[in-house]
Amino acid sequence: MKKQITSVSLGQNAKMAAALYVVISLPIVLVLAAILAISGQAGQALVVLVATPVVYAGVAALGTLIGGWLYNVVAARVGGFEFTTAEVKAG
């Protein structure tokens, strides 16, 4: 059975992307903060710990909002992504 995604939820997708990017940024933040703390720049390490996840989440949310809006505009004119589904036996 073929299905087509004709519209995506902008707010939900942006929220999900932001949450994912916060999680993705955590290992990066910890490494950067450790390097800065070891080099005697503890103040900058604190800024990195706070700012990086916030910036990553904001950029991801904005990018997803714009991308989702563009998808909806284009999908309304030419149709959305098409995929095929199949029933699968449990277990």
pLDDT digits (tens, 9 = 90+) for 9-25: 999 999 999 999 999 99
Which candidate, 69, 54, 55, 63, places its Cα nearest to that of 9?
69
Three-point CA angle 6, 59, 32, nearest 5°: 140
Report residue 53 as tokens. 């996840």
Is residue 47 very low, low, confident or very high in pLDDT (cuts 50, 70, 90)? confident
Spell out the domain ranges in the chain.
11-78
- Confidence at residue 46, expressed as pLDDT on a 0 to 100 scale: 84
pLDDT in tens, 57-78: 999 999 999 999 999 999 999 9
Please indicate whether residue 6 or residue 48 has the higher confidence score (pLDDT): 6
Please give the Cα distance from 47 to 39 (Å, whole number): 15
Let me know: does 79 contact 6? Beta carbons within 8 Å.
yes
